[in-house]
């Protein structure tokens, strides 16, 4: 499970960065996106899907562990 960084870009979109692959993509959907529960399955603009353990909505940027569910 790689460590990933999630932050907001200047346009206000969530971005997903995997340092070991030097991959940065826009998050197009997230299973849970509320103050009480944030994370779950995350779909990136390239079609890849990762899983983030749901947590209360964090302050960004944040580094988390993610599990790849499928590749684009």
Are the CB atoms for 29 and 43 separated by under 8 Å?
yes
pLDDT in tens, 29-42: 999 999 999 999 99
pLDDT in tens, 51-67: 999 999 999 999 999 99
Distance CA 69, CA 50 (A): 5
Q: Under the phi-then-psi rule, with left for phi > 0, alpha for psi from -120 to 50, and beta for the rest, what region is 39?
A: left
| Mean pLDDT, the chain, integer | 94
| pTM of the predicted model as reported, rounded to 2 decimal places | 0.91
């Amino acid at each position: 499970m790689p460590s990933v960084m999630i932050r907001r870009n200047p346009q206000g979109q969530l971005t997903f960065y995997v340092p070991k692959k030097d991959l940065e993509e826009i998050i197009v959907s997230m299973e849970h996106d509320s103050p009480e529960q944030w994370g779950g399955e995350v779909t990136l603009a390239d079609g890849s899907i990762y899983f983030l353990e749901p947590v209360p909505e964090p302050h960004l940027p944040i580094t988390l562990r993610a599990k790849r569910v499928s590749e684009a």
